[in-house]
């Protein structure tokens, strides 16, 4: 009897090779999960979001030897809030398995159906929380995982720096908590995701480049201690995570910001290893750092993070700890992505 199986995935880039790789992976998983033989496939209808236009995904089906099935490719109607760079399929198969028992497959963060179909009532987007001490590589791993899974990478640190930048250029003294607190609700900040990257706007102007100066970093370390600032940003971060599959890194993501995240990672490495990495980074920038001095700075930062009064750094009870002394960022990314895909499809 004719049965129908849904599937969806995302491509990392609008690139022919990447689109075909993602499509092949999706087709192979649908076949594997449903114990199908290629001869059982009668039709496959593919759709792509409008940001993918370099190749027909049906090419991947032919490359896999699916030569007798009827194939069709359709450009998907753009709906506000849809997952970007998304490939979907509807596969018709001859099978004795009941329609209720077929296994639909969603990969690379494509766990939510289109908002025009679901009315926003489909299961919540997937969230990954990564915590750990400074210099352990959280941001690097998070960015790699976001690209691989098709998630949005939420740079929480940049949000704090944007708050700090806003008050710093207005010469607001960081000790003037009254002014800062009274301004929080009207602060003209927007967080958008453009081509998969987070862009922060203040008063309608993108300010991401301005947030990298050492002056902003130093001011941020002071303003981030104000509880009202933390509460405001946590609310913004949670709102983002309710609308799309995200990965966030920080020091209190799994314990405070995304307490209900289905996948929490605590990334750790020895102070010596983190110091070695930091020294190498500084040397690449032309500096000549003293190892012992940098080691002391790393250990002092650890102590401050773990003993601060508000939301100290600690491993969530349900977090998976990854000790990455002997792992590079790509190896850690592979482990995290494997766990994410397993939990999304379980």
- Annotated active-site residue in 18, 21, 33, 76: 76
Tell whether 85 and 136 lie within a shared domain: no
pLDDT (tens digit, 9 = 90+) per residue, 168-180?
999 998 889 999 9
128 located within any domain: yes
Q: What is the pLDDT of residue 121?
A: 42
Tell whether 99 and 147 lie within a shared domain: no
pLDDT beyond 70 at 122 = no
258 located within any domain: yes
- Annotated active-site residue in 50, 62, 212, 343: 62
| Least confidently predicted of 112-116, 187-191, 198-202 | 112-116
6 located within any domain: yes
Tell whether 12 and 106 lie within a shared domain: yes
Q: What is the pLDDT of residue 11?
A: 86
Tell whether 144 and 249 lie within a shared domain: yes
The reply to whether the predicted model has a pTM over 0.85 is no
β-pair partners for 206: 201
Q: What is the pLDDT of residue 46?
A: 95
Q: Which residue has the higher pLDDT, 25 or 208?
A: 25
98 located within any domain: yes
- Annotated active-site residue in 6, 238, 301, 308: 6
76 labelled catalytic: yes
Tell whether 73 and 144 lie within a shared domain: no
Which residue's structure tokens are 């009897």?
A: 1
- Annotated active-site residue in 114, 161, 278, 341: 114
88 labelled catalytic: yes
Give the domain range for residue 260.
Answer: 124-151+245-346
- Annotated active-site residue in 18, 24, 25, 73: 73
Tell whether 216 and 263 lie within a shared domain: no
The span from the CA of 125 to the CA of 344, in Å, is 10
How many C-beta atoms surround the C-beta of residue 104 within 10 A?
16
Q: What is the pLDDT of residue 77?
A: 81
Tell whether 259 and 337 lie within a shared domain: yes
- The Cβ-side half-sphere exposure at 244, using a 13 Å CA radius, reads 22
The span from the CA of 11 to the CA of 214, in Å, is 36
Local confidence band at 196 (pLDDT 50, 70, 90 cut-offs): low
Please identify, among 243, 268, 288, the residue that sits at the C-terminal boundary of a domain.
243
Tell whether 6 and 94 lie within a shared domain: yes
What is the domain-level CATH number for residue 160? 3.40.50.300
Nearest Cα neighbor of 76 from 110, 127, 124, 99 is 110
119 located within any domain: no
167 and 223 in contact (C-beta within 8 Å)? yes
Tell whether 142 and 262 lie within a shared domain: yes
50 and 25 in contact (C-beta within 8 Å)? no
- Annotated active-site residue in 56, 106, 165, 266: 106
φ/ψ region of 317 (left if φ > 0, alpha if ψ in -120 to 50, else beta) reads alpha
43 located within any domain: yes
Tell whether 178 and 42 lie within a shared domain: no
Tell whether 318 and 184 lie within a shared domain: no
Over the chain, what is the mean pLDDT? 87
| Least confidently predicted of 37-41, 99-103, 320-324 | 99-103
Tell whether 32 and 88 lie within a shared domain: yes
85 located within any domain: yes
Q: What is the pLDDT of residue 346?
A: 63
| Least confidently predicted of 105-114, 120-129, 233-242 | 105-114
What is the domain-level CATH number for residue 86? 3.30.1330.40
118 located within any domain: no
- Annotated active-site residue in 3, 88, 251, 341: 88
284 labelled catalytic: no
Q: What is the pLDDT of residue 93?
A: 95
Please identify, among 113, 139, 169, the residue that sits at the C-terminal boundary of a domain.
113
114 labelled catalytic: yes
Report how many domains make up the chain: 3
Please identify, among 186, 209, 243, the residue that sits at the C-terminal boundary of a domain.
243
Secondary structure in 3-state letters for the chain: CEEEEEEEEECCCCCHHHHHHHHHHHHHHHHHHCCCCHHHEEEEEEEECCCCCCCCCHHHHHHCCCCCCEEEEEECCCCCCCCCCEEEEEEEEECCCCHHHCCCEECCCCCCCCHHHHCCCCCCCCEEEEECCCCCCHHHHHHHHHHHHCCEEECHHHHHHHHHHHHHCCCCCCCCHHHHHHHHHHCCEEEEEECCEEEEEECCEECHHHHHCHHHHHHHHHHCCCHHHHHHHHHHHHHHHCCCCEEEEECCHHHHHCCCCCEEEEEECCHHHHHHHHHHHHHHCCCCCCHHHHHHHHHHHHHHHHHCCCCCCCCCCCCEEEECCCCCHHHHHHHHHHHHHHHHCC
């Amino acid at each position: 009897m004719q049965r129908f199986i849904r599937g969806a995935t995302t491509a990392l880039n609008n690139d022919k090779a990447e689109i075909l790789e993602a499509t092949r992976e999706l087709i192979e998983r649908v076949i594997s999960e449903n114990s199908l033989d290629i001869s059982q496939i009668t039709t496959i209808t593919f759709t792509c979001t409008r940001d993918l236009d370099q190749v027909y995904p049906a090419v991947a089906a032919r490359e896999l030897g699916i030569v007798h099935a009827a194939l069709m490719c359709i450009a998907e109607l753009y709906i506000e809030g849809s997952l970007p760079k998304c490939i979907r399929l509807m596969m018709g198969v001859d099978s004795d398995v009941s329609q209720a028992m077929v296994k639909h497959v969603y990969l690379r963060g494509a766990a939510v159906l289109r908002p025009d179909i679901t009315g926003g009532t489909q299961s919540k987007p997937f969230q990954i929380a990564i915590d750990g001490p400074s210099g352990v590589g959280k941001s690097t791993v998070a960015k790699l995982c976001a690209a691989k899974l098709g998630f949005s990478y939420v740079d929480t640190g940049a949000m704090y720096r944007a708050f700090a930048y806003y008050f710093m250029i207005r010469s607001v003294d960081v000790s003037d908590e009254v002014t800062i607190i009274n301004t929080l609700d009207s602060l003209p900040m927007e967080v958008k995701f453009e081509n998969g990257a987070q862009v922060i706007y203040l008063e309608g102007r993108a300010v991401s480049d301005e947030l990298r100066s050492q002056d902003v970093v130093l001011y941020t370390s002071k303003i981030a201690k104000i509880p009202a600032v933390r509460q405001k940003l946590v609310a913004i971060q949670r709102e983002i995570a309710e609308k799309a599959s995200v990965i966030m890194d920080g020091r209190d993501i799994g314990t405070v910001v995304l307490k209900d995240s289905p996948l929490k990672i605590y990334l750790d490495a020895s102070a010596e290893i983190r110091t070695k990495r930091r020294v190498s980074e500084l040397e690449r920038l032309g500096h000549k750092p003293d190892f012992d001095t940098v080691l002391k700075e790393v250990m002092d930062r650890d102590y401050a993070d773990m003993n601060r009064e508000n939301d100290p750094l600690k491993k969530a009870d349900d977090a998976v700890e990854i000790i990455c002394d002997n792992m590079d960022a790509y190896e850690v990314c592979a482990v995290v992505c494997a766990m994410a895909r397993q939990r999304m499809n379980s």
